[in-house]
Amino acid sequence: MKYFLMAIVATVITTGAVLAQDMNKDQVRTQTRENISEEQQQMIQERKQERIMLREQFKASLTEEQKAILQDQKMTQEQKREQLRECFTEEQQAMLKNQMQIREQTREANKQAMKGSLTEAQKEQVQTQMREGTRETAREMQSGNGGNGSGRKGQ
């Protein structure tokens, strides 16, 4: 019974720490969004719309067989990916390759444009976030998590 209570207490403490960490990340994201200019928000929105457009173009090219693979609830994401890769047409493979190249070019162009539009306060905020991210990764690796990103949401 004593060990059971200790396990529950440890679980509660660990869960609380994880929740606090997630809340802190959300808080940083919210502050970052509040501190960007209209021009920067527009750049981000344009990038988002481009990603959506590319995704929709690819979805439109899917065959019925490929759609069935995506809908199969018995397969894991990795199994679905493997099955899809095996039945992509040459056109779909070319489309994916082209989309990846576009994303890379756009990412680099946006990175340079965003860098050029940062205020001094924003530059300092980015530096602070990078330092915190480095510390967080080091903590994860020390704790045995290995920084594998298992706590990331939606990515």
pLDDT digits (tens, 9 = 90+) for 96-106: 998 888 888 88
How far apart (Å, rounded) are the C-alpha atoms in residues 41 and 44? 5
Please list, in sequence order, all residues whose beta carbon lies within 8 angstroms of the beta carbon of residue 18, skipping any fewer than 6 positions away: 151
26 vs 109, residue with greater confidence: 109
pLDDT at 60: 92
Instruction: State residue 43's pLDDT score.
Output: 80
CA pair distance 81, 69, nearest whole angstrom: 9
- pLDDT > 50? residue 154: no
Look at 17-26, 61-70, 91-100, 135-144 and tell me which has the smallest mean pLDDT: 17-26
pLDDT band at residue 71 using 50, 70 and 90 as cut-offs: very high
Is 87 in contact with 66 (CB distance < 8 Å)? yes
The first and second tokens of residue 68, run together, are 């069935």
3-class state of residue 41 by DSSP? helix
Query: Which DSSP state fits 143?
Result: T
Per-residue pLDDT, averaged over 75-92, amounts to: 92
Q: Is a pLDDT exceeding 60 seen at residue 19?
A: no
* pLDDT confidence band for 153 (50 / 70 / 90): very low
Per-residue burial over 97-114, b if 16 or more Cβ lie within 10 Å, else e, is: eebeeeeeeeeeebeeeb
Angle 87-92-97 from CA coordinates, rounded to 5°: 120
